[in-house]
Amino acid sequence: MSNNRPRSRKQGEATSRSDVNKRGSAGTPRTGNQSYDRKPVSGGSHSGQTNKRPDHTPGYDRIDRFDGGDRGPVRGPVRTGNYYTGAPVRRRNPFFRILLFFLIAVLLVSCLRQAFSSMGTIDQPQPTDTPAPVQQTAAATYNPPTTTYTDTTMPAADTTVAEGIRDRYTTILGNGQDSVTILVYMIASDLESGYGMATNDINEMAYASHSDNVRVILQTGGTKRWRNNVMKTGTNERWQVTDRSVVALDRAVGNKRMTDPATLAEFIQWGTKKYPANRYMLILWDHGGGSVSGYGYDQVYPNTTMTLDKLAQALEAGGVKFDFIGFDACLMGNTETALVCSKYADWLIASEETEPGTGWYYTDWLTSLAQNPSLPTLEIGKQIIDGFVVQSARSGRREKTSLSIIDLAEFQAYVPAKLRAFAGDVTAALQTSQYGQIANARSVTKEFAQSNKLDQIDVVHFCENIGTESALELAEAVKSCVKYNRVNNMTNAYGLSIYFPYRTTNKVNAVA
């Protein structure tokens, strides 16, 4: 079975060939400071160390940007006439040129002083009567909010449990008695065909420690090319990840569109029936487009995504309640996604911002779960978040990252009602003279993937900028259900975004 693991890279072999990120549709690789969709390409496999991501060229986000590093002076042959030589070029001493400029400047200043002193005193205009102050209206006295920059990383996970929430869908037995099935729905897309990112993450999973109580089950597809010698194109496939290997479970699932909710539902039904457990976890791997576009880009069937209403159809048809649903994809940490997933899972793990190309780091948290299948879900989420942020920072100094875990039971109990009250107040304000106040608050609110104009903003920051009673109540409800949030190179990201258009409203109906 050991030969079934995707080919390992040689020592020192790079696992990335360029920069990428996990947002929205695929794009042609660019250069310089441009950004890309979903995760830096990783063409090889893990080096074998279980506590470190394989070395790779820093890069792509599930949208972010990367600068290729500093360039020092070029040393080498210099051109003299028609010949190249290694001799240094002798340059003239600049001292006398600087001295000449200094003397000219002193002379000019002296001349200007004499000219102004000879002009004498200029008569000042006589004051006129001051007009009476104009009576200002309430709208004229409105002071727009100023932008403040708050580090929203939480120092520790919030383990408090709110009163009045529903029972958990998943009951953890404890004492290592639990059985866990992790379903990874991997739409490999251009992230694999162009950059080998899916191969890299599969290897991270394979280099974790595994146990009989924790099964990692993959469905792969949606790419035109695999950059390993195990997976094949032309059909979706199913695999189990084991120690240093992947075991084929079904290599002829069919060439089905991975963004079709029926395909996801079928995988959920099959995986939970074949590998029953008391804890089910679902990870959705690919591009992400936020509240409007939803999840997934299938390179074989490139014209559709799994919008949130389709995701709801898939989860409903799957017929399973999950311990957590996680998105290893850009921009899926939003209020709309939480509303959908709260009916089918206890926890949501997702990013408000574009994810750097390295994505989640799987080795360490899978090892911890294998060692203790009763590990609390909040602790699993914290390990995923910490590993993601730390490894992303190592991949690129300028990577902007965020990842949070949301208690969907608390979210479902408190946020929808607060959101309805807030939405009603905002709608009423937009129809009156207070329109400008809402627009000003929106203009200074933290926005994600701003260059892509997706209109995803941080819901807490927006509410605090508005400052009304309903807004502040919604902000407190959201902050309470975000149990752990960690960011890097960004501020004012509290863990959940929301779609709030600033330029046009032509996509509002699609989101609703």
Tell me: pLDDT of 505 over 90.
no
- Least Cα distance to 455 among 511, 495, 501 occurs for 501
| Span 376-430, pLDDT tens digits | 999 999 999 999 999 999 887 788 999 999 999 999 999 999 999 999 999 999 8
pLDDT value of residue 347: 99
Does 421 lie in the same domain as 362? Answer: no
pLDDT value of residue 3: 47
Average per-residue pLDDT in the chain? 80
Does residue 117 lie within any of the structural domains?
Answer: no
The residue with greater pLDDT, 300 or 31, is: 300
- Give the chain's domain count: 2
Does residue 103 lie within any of the structural domains?
Answer: no
Does 490 lie in the same domain as 377? Answer: no
Does 384 lie in the same domain as 451? Answer: no
Domain limit, last residue, from 379, 412, 445:
412
Does residue 149 lie within any of the structural domains?
Answer: no
pLDDT value of residue 43: 40
Q: Residue 162 in contact with residue 413, Cβ under 8 Å?
A: yes
Distances (CA, A) of 92 to 89, 274, 386: 10, 80, 55
Does 435 lie in the same domain as 404? Answer: no
Does residue 108 lie within any of the structural domains?
Answer: no
Does 391 lie in the same domain as 281? Answer: yes
Q: Which residues contact 191 (CB under 8 A, 6 or more apart)?
A: 20, 22, 26, 38, 39, 41, 197, 198, 223, 286, 287
Mean pLDDT for the stretch of residues 308-334: 98
The pair of structure tokens assigned to 409 is 């039971």
Does residue 139 lie within any of the structural domains?
Answer: no
Most confident of 36-40, 46-50, 133-137, 313-317: 313-317
- Least Cα distance to 345 among 316, 383, 370 occurs for 316
Looking at the chain, the whole-number percentage of residues with pLDDT higher than 70 is 70
pLDDT value of residue 434: 86
Does residue 121 lie within any of the structural domains?
Answer: no
Domain limit, last residue, from 351, 383, 412:
412
Does 407 lie in the same domain as 289? Answer: yes
Does 452 lie in the same domain as 365? Answer: no
For residue 342, the enclosing domain spans 2-66+157-412
Burial pattern 230-262, b for ≥16 Cβ within 10 A else e, equals bbebeebbbbbbbebbbeebeeebeebbbbbbe
Does residue 483 lie within any of the structural domains?
Answer: yes
Residues in the chain: 512
Is residue 117 very low, low, confident or very high in pLDDT (cuts 50, 70, 90)? low
Does 484 lie in the same domain as 353? Answer: no
- Least Cα distance to 267 among 191, 200, 320 occurs for 320
pLDDT value of residue 502: 81
Does 402 lie in the same domain as 460? Answer: no
Q: Worst-scoring range by mean pLDDT, 139-153, 424-438, 450-464? A: 139-153
3-state secondary structure 449-488: CHHHCCCEEEHHHHHHHHCCHHHHHHHHHHHHHEEEEEEE
Does residue 52 lie within any of the structural domains?
Answer: yes
Does 408 lie in the same domain as 446? Answer: no
Mean pLDDT for the stretch of residues 336-359: 95
Most confident of 2-6, 32-36, 184-188: 184-188
Domain limit, last residue, from 412, 439, 473:
412
- Least Cα distance to 351 among 51, 159, 66, 63 occurs for 63
Does 224 lie in the same domain as 316? Answer: yes
Does 353 lie in the same domain as 264? Answer: yes
Tell me: pLDDT of 238 over 80.
yes
| Span 59-76, pLDDT tens digits | 445 433 223 222 122 223
